[in-house]
Amino acid sequence: MGALCQHDGVDTSQNGRAASGDAPLLADRGVGARWWSLDIHAHSPTSFDYGGLDGTQNNDPKPTHKEWIRAYIDSGVDGIVIADHNTYEGIEPARAALAQLREEDPSLPMLVIFPGVELTVTGGIHVLAIFDPQCSAEVVQETLTLCEFRGARGRSDETANVTVSTAAKIVAERGGLFVPAHADQRAGVFSIGQRELQALRDHEHIHAVEVIDDSEIKTADRWNWVPLLGSDAHHLTTESHPEPALAKAPGTHLTLVKAETLDLKGLRLALTDPAESIRRCHRGYIDPNEIDHGHINSLMVNHRGAVETYRFGPWMNCLIGGRGVGKSTVIELLRMALGRTDELPAGVAEDLRRFNPTATGEEQWWEADTRIVIKYTKDHRLLRVTWSGSDPERSTIELWDGSQWETQSGRVLDRAPVRVFSQKQIYELASRPQSFLTILDDMPSIRRGEWDEEYEALQLRFKSERNTLRQLRAETEKADRIRGELQDVRGRLQHLEDLRATSEYQEMDALEARLHDSGSAEEQATDIEPGLVRVCPGSG
């Protein structure tokens, strides 16, 4: 439902600086369709029953249109359909109040006002007529006149002189969207006869109905009508309602519309694909505009004095265009700035040599003052990658901290993990069976870098354990050798022990004892002989 990439030409003579700027631009939020919150049934203080019970005259003081508009802005609603009972008189006061609020505070969030009316037709059935925000309130007045409403303006208890079918035709002829109001409640179309409902089902100008009770959505589906939801609120807050449990207020009941712009054309287009573009929501819903995945916001190129900016949608970063419009050039600029040129297959890389950071002289397409700036959102933070022709082999990366850009460390291809594929590259990759697995390996969710680091750590651990094992094996072999020598010694000792037990050994042992005794006696005799000579000198 819209462009996925938008190109803006920038005249530097008027802007004086590149589109990268010192602060993020509003455009960095992306282009293309997004979800808008719309209250398709909002009563202003102009309705006779505002501030009281639905359908009952309220004479108590009512809030001003300025207070009423402010309540919707504060609730975070993107747009409202002013659908007062049978009158257009609340539209211009609401627009004037919004203009005054915006003049007082230019940073006020956007609020789109659709002029409309809740019309009471024959049978007391309530229907909504919704017109484009650019329409004058007079279109509602003309619709009321053509529908022959002659009752008191602002009241719901008087009826126009046309049927639902005729009113739908009149609204469509005035360029409006016709939606039966609170179809499953009092004064809703579900209460009419089956034959009449069948006729309305085939009506060319009725495509949606307002359904209040979630359980009645299946009824709308049965009649091929898209179920929508509005607040039908008559109070600024739920606390001010006489019955808080049933209270409706700004922001409590909404229809989410997926469109490029919040206008009647966008709403009509969304109704053609309700499964993807329409959601009924109550206060506290999860905002579908919240984006968790990383995405490119914009690409700015400053070359030879000209500045071009390309803005991308956050849900699908791609380039769409005819042949020869420069898609390939933009892709290669992205690849070069993001440090991905070495991923090109050899054949393709040679054809794109002029975009390689190592190109020299006449090969390169850039000049020293050429700059490429990419803004990239990751983890809800905005990064800025800047490539310069004066240093083509290195890109810098910065983080927006809310007030300024801070220089970051690390590689660009890790901090901004964007894979870039051209048509030629895809053809080349298709011829290699392992290409897809290589791409998967490089996906951040696969955490290939962490796996590689862990694998390297395991390799080092394996080598260390293997060295330890070798040392243990050497020590084991040494211990085994010593155990063998010990066993030999023990064997010899056992052999000696066995010999000592034999009779021969015992006889030899006794002989050695006798020889030892004889030797001792001889030594004693030898020692005694000199003494005898001294005692008996002439006895020799």
State which CATH number among 3.40.50.970, 3.10.400.10, 3.20.20.140, 3.90.550.10 fits the domain covering 33-282.
3.20.20.140
Task: Return the residue matching tokens 């870098």.
Answer: 449
**DSSP type of residue 113:** E
Q: For 65-75, what is each residue's pLDDT tens digit?
A: 999 999 999 99
Asked if 405 contacts 338 with a C-beta cutoff of 8 angstroms, the reply is no
283: number of Cβ within 10 Å: 15
Q: What is the pLDDT of residue 279?
A: 97
Report residue 324: phi and psi, to 5°: 85, 10
Residue 69 has, within 13 A of its CA and on its CB side, a CA count of 23
Q: Element (H or E) spanning 279, and its range?
A: strand 278-282
pLDDT at 120 over 50: yes
Give the integer Cα–Cα distance in Å for 84 and 62. Answer: 14
Which among 25, 31, 33 has a CA at the least distance from the CA of 7? 31
pLDDT at 17 over 60: no
Q: For 425-463, what is each residue's pLDDT tens digit?
A: 777 777 777 766 776 776 667 777 788 888 899 999 999
Residue range 379-390: mean pLDDT, rounded: 93
Q: Element (H or E) spanning 83, and its range?
A: none
What does the angle CA 478 – CA 479 – CA 481 come to, to the nearest 5 degrees?
65
Q: Element (H or E) spanning 382, and its range?
A: strand 381-388
Q: What is the pLDDT of residue 265?
A: 97
Would you say the pTM of this structure is higher than 0.75? no
Give the integer Cα–Cα distance in Å for 385 and 403. Answer: 17
Task: Return the residue matching tokens 């211009």.
Answer: 92
- pLDDT-based confidence at 244, cuts 50/70/90? low
Give the integer Cα–Cα distance in Å for 37 and 46. Answer: 23
Give the integer Cα–Cα distance in Å for 352 and 342. Answer: 11
Q: Where are the domains of the chain?
A: 33-282, 295-446
Domain 295-446 has CATH 3.40.50.300: yes
- pLDDT-based confidence at 539, cuts 50/70/90? low
Residue range 51-63: mean pLDDT, rounded: 80
Asked if 314 contacts 291 with a C-beta cutoff of 8 angstroms, the reply is yes
Which among 394, 377, 414 has a CA at the least distance from the CA of 337? 394
Q: For 254-265, what is each residue's pLDDT tens digit?
A: 999 999 999 999
Task: Return the residue matching tokens 């960095």.
Answer: 28
Residue 417 CB contacts under 8 Å (≥ 6 apart), including other chains: 294, 442, 443, 444
Instruction: Please indicate whether residue 139 or residue 7 has the higher confidence score (pLDDT).
Output: 139
Strand ranges, E, within 73-207? 79-82, 112-121, 125-130, 177-180
What does the angle CA 159 – CA 165 – CA 171 come to, to the nearest 5 degrees?
80
Dihedral of the alpha carbons of 99, 104, 105, 106, in degrees to the nearest 10: 60
Q: What is the pLDDT of residue 245?
A: 59
Give the integer Cα–Cα distance in Å for 291 and 255. Answer: 20
- Calculate the average pLDDT of the chain: 86
Q: Element (H or E) spanning 513, and its range?
A: helix 503-535
pLDDT at 183 over 70: yes
Q: What is the pLDDT of residue 14?
A: 28
The two tokens of residue 461 are 């651990």
Residues linked to residue 300 through DSSP beta bridges, in sequence order: 309, 373
Q: What is the pLDDT of residue 15?
A: 29
Residue range 320-324: mean pLDDT, rounded: 80
Give CA separation, 123 vs 65, 84, 206, 232, 516, in Å.
31, 19, 18, 20, 149
Q: Which of 97-111, 134-148, 263-277, 318-332 has the lowest mean pLDDT?
A: 318-332
Give the integer Cα–Cα distance in Å for 141 and 138. Answer: 5
Q: For 30-48, what is each residue's pLDDT tens digit?
A: 678 899 999 999 999 998 8
- pLDDT-based confidence at 125, cuts 50/70/90? very high
Q: Where does residue 276 fall: left (phi above 0), alpha (psi -120 to 50 degrees), or beta otherwise?
A: alpha
- pLDDT-based confidence at 61, cuts 50/70/90? confident
Asked if 336 contacts 328 with a C-beta cutoff of 8 angstroms, the reply is no
- SS3 state of residue 511: helix
Residues linked to residue 381 through DSSP beta bridges, in sequence order: 378
Q: For 140-179, what is each residue's pLDDT tens digit?
A: 999 999 999 988 887 888 899 999 999 999 999 999 999 9
Q: What is the pLDDT of residue 12?
A: 29
Q: What is the pLDDT of residue 538?
A: 59
Give CA separation, 248 vs 57, 208, 239, in Å.
18, 21, 10
Question: Percentage of residues in the chain with pLDDT exceeding 70?
Answer: 90
Given the DSSP bridges, would you call strands 226-228 and 208-210 parallel, antiparallel or unpaired? parallel
